[in-house]
Structure 1
Amino acid sequence: MIYLDYQATTPVAPEVADAMRPWIEEKFANPHSPSRWGREAAAAIEMARKEVSEAIGLTGGRLAFTGSATEALNWALKGTLEKTKGRNRIVTVATEHAAVLDTCEWLKGRGFDLTRLPVGADGLLNLENVKAELDDRVAIVAVMLVNNEIGVIQPIAEIAELAHEVGALMLCDAVQGLGRVEIPEGPDLAAVSAHKIHGPKGIGALWMRDGVEPAPLIHGGGQEMGLRSGTLSPALCVGFGVAAKLATERRQSDHEHVEELWIAAGSSLMTDWIINGSMTQRYHGNLNICWPGVDAARIIAELRDVAFSLGSACASGSGRPSHVLRAIGLSDRDARSSIRLGFGRYTSKEEVLDAVNRIDAAARTQRGLAA
């Protein structure tokens, strides 16, 4: 199989699997136990916390492990608004992940005002539009760093500065950015996930600037700094830590490899394909392309040994056109003619060339343009 779905999940790094194995087998102690084995597990978790924090690279904060980035985003939004006094507005973006948009809709149903900012045809926010929507009633501004469907990179530092000017907090969904692009200073809260950087599924984290920690979302033993309850998995935490350390160490080589793959993919695509999203402000490991009139779902069905997608894995079974592609102005028909190719550390140039050529050939056959 040729795997080109890196935005959905990434292959687990061999180093990660090796590091996790002892904590699944003989080192099974509860890290919150005072026993020697428990203390050993707790020490391993603290090392992992340090490695993930260093990979994020933001200063003046601390990190709590969660069950997923979805949990981290829910916690950041709900917990922040629970503590907010006198501010009842949320500002976010039409192209955010469902974990943000659905949570914001839930909060709207409980009396908070919600503003969804539009994006341009390139998928990017207009900073003047952001500034115009901000006032002293805004509690939190939630903006994704790298879009999971089209790969565009939003100006996070500038948005955070605008939020701070009106006394609001800034939440950044940095899931697709961690290990791939620099996370700029400015956010007060940042959510990340292990399985997008060659780590295990089932663990994420919320980075919190000192003094702005959200109210707890999950109650119980308060194992994570008194802010989140639940027994941590040493295996998952260690796996996340090793994946984060590898991402830090290999960031430059991973970047160079992705650039090579981007160039290879682009050189093989015929002129009929259109790239969705900004060509200049984007992560090159995400290639979202459209050939109007092509049935993208049919291409996926025909190329069963190539893994790629129509868009977000979270919404792939809904049957609805991508809300991200609609937000940048695509019709429902063109959205259904778009595919997302994601590649990274373990993708070879030969795999990309083979897959792209076969995708292009399948589209040409559909359009009656076979050579």
Structure 2
Amino acid sequence: MKTVTKRDRVYLDYNATTPLVEEVYEAMLPWLREKFGNPSSSHREGKEAKEALFDCRKKIAQFLGTRTEEIIFTSGCTESIGLALRGALLAAAHKNKIVISAVEHPAVFSLMKLLEKEGVQFTILPVERDGSLNLEQLEKSLDSSVGILSLLWANNETGVLFPIEQISRIAKAKGILFHVDGAQVVGKIKIHLAELGVDLFSFSAHKCYGPKGIGGLYVRKGVSLAPLIPGHQERNRRGGTENVAGIVGMAKACELAESKIMRESGRIQKLRDWMEQKIEQELPGIVIVAKNKSRIWNTSNIIFSGTDSEELLNYLDQKGIAVSTGSACMSGSQEPSHVLLAMGFDRKEASSALRISLGFETTQEEIEIFLQALFSFFRVEAFCNAVK
């Protein structure tokens, strides 16, 4: 598996986005050039595009362990989240409350601000110091006024995994719709939505070595969902001409994840754990967030107490290394991570954190380059403090 663009830098921000795989690029090319038909057209070109959509929908449904007709194509996970939450409430007008956690993706909180102006109420569940949810508290929050429960499966900043199967059983027993943001798990863990029991599941291609600007929403059969964009496409649930090339790319990315990518997860987890061990040995004052909690295997969030994370990020960037201070959607924000604040870290600690997320191309040599630059920063900082 090779990416389209060769890099001369060490990229460790795979939770923000992944590079496009060569096989995905090649699969998309014909649909960007000669195969340009509109799937809604009745002529040969249109029928060819429509057939491609059917084949891709089938492949993605098989990859996610569900039915072909339960997959809706969108522009990405943010739109899928909006369609799931707003669409479900519009279809159930007698319920006006959404339950979420305090560590959800910024896309959810942006939507919350909009929906609150429309009279929708939100219950925000707190998390423990390790990022976990109190399931008893969650169950108590699911009263008859709740239209939908929405949670991340894997946190994009810390990697903490919520026990989705267990939560799904709680929601089902209460008769509450359950939406899962699966952006950080698709292509990283085996998913079988039919067995998981969730009602709605959103995902994006660009987190899984596919193209940007395309994603999907799983809608369990029987779930009512009002469209946000009117139109006959996607079974009247999402209007607009489908992004055929993007959908072809997403299907190919899922196919590769099924056959190749998941085999590498064990190696990457060992590499991440080795990296964390080396950092702990060299910098004993650091905190590995949720170290002993169940985490997605590629993600590490580390608090370098007393350090300005933006200053550290910029130093590493100048050394040819890409990491992040949290969600890419909040890049440039002066506020510390809302995820770490919700976990009980203070503002100073939350402003001292880096997220390092590995990918399937990450090598031990790259991690060693990163560690060398990281330790160099602290040696320089220690020297500067000593001569003040």
Classify the secondary structure of the residue corresponding to 1:45: helix
Unmatched 5+ stretches in structure 1: none
Q: For residues 61 and 364 of structure 1, what CA distance do their matches in structure 2 show?
A: 57
Deviation at 1:251, TM superposition (A): 4.4
Unmatched 5+ stretches in structure 2: 1-8
Work out which of the residue numbers 211, 217, 232 in structure 1 matches 2:222: 211
| 1:302-359 residue CA offsets vs partner (Å, 9 max, x unmatched) | 1221011000000011211110011111111111110001111111121012112311
Deviation at 1:97, TM superposition (A): 0.5
Q: For residues 182 and 328 of structure 1, what CA distance do their matches in structure 2 show?
A: 28
Work out which of the residue numbers 179, 193, 200 in structure 1 matches 2:187: 179
Deviation at 1:200, TM superposition (A): 0.1
Instruction: State the match for 1:77 in structure 2.
Output: 85
Matched, 1:358 2:373: yes
Instruction: State the match for 1:307 in structure 2.
Output: 322
**AA partner of residue 286 (structure 1):** T
**AA partner of residue 248 (structure 1):** E
**AA partner of residue 54 (structure 1):** Q
Matched, 1:68 2:76: yes
Q: What aligned pairs does 1:31-70 form with structure 2 within 5 A after superposition? A: 31-58=39-66, 62-70=70-78
Q: Which runs of at least 4 in structure 1 moved beyond 3 Å after TM superposition?
A: 58-61, 367-370
| 1:240-289 residue CA offsets vs partner (Å, 9 max, x unmatched) | 00001111112441212312321331232133321112523101201110
Instruction: State the match for 1:331 in structure 2.
Output: 346
Instruction: State the match for 2:265 in structure 1.
Output: 255
Classify the secondary structure of the residue corresponding to 2:70: strand
TM-score, normalising length: structure 2 = 0.91
Classify the secondary structure of the residue corresponding to 1:228: coil
Matched, 1:268 2:278: yes
Work out which of the residue numbers 340, 345, 353 in structure 1 matches 2:360: 345
Q: For residues 345 and 187 of structure 1, what CA distance do their matches in structure 2 show?
A: 28
Deviation at 1:197, TM superposition (A): 0.1
Work out which of the residue numbers 193, 205, 208 in structure 1 matches 2:204: 193
Q: For residues 93 and 169 of structure 2, what CA distance do their matches in structure 1 show?
A: 21
Q: For residues 26 and 142 of structure 1, what CA distance do their matches in structure 2 show?
A: 41
Instruction: State the match for 2:3 in structure 1.
Output: none
Q: Which moved more, 1:40-49 or 1:60-69?
A: 60-69
| 1:40-86 residue CA offsets vs partner (Å, 9 max, x unmatched) | 11111222112222222246961010011100000111110001143
Classify the secondary structure of the residue corresponding to 1:303: helix
Classify the secondary structure of the residue corresponding to 2:246: helix
Deviation at 1:368, TM superposition (A): 4.3
Greater helix share, structure number: 2
Work out which of the residue numbers 258, 281, 302 in structure 1 matches 2:294: 281
TM-score, normalising length: structure 1 = 0.95
Q: Which moved more, 1:307-316 or 1:53-62?
A: 53-62
Instruction: State the match for 1:231 in structure 2.
Output: 241
Q: Which moved more, 1:234-243 or 1:177-186?
A: 177-186
Q: For residues 46 and 69 of structure 2, what CA distance do their matches in structure 1 show?
A: 26
**AA partner of residue 344 (structure 1):** G
Q: Which moved more, 1:202-211 or 1:163-172?
A: 163-172
**AA partner of residue 302 (structure 2):** I
Aligned residues: 370
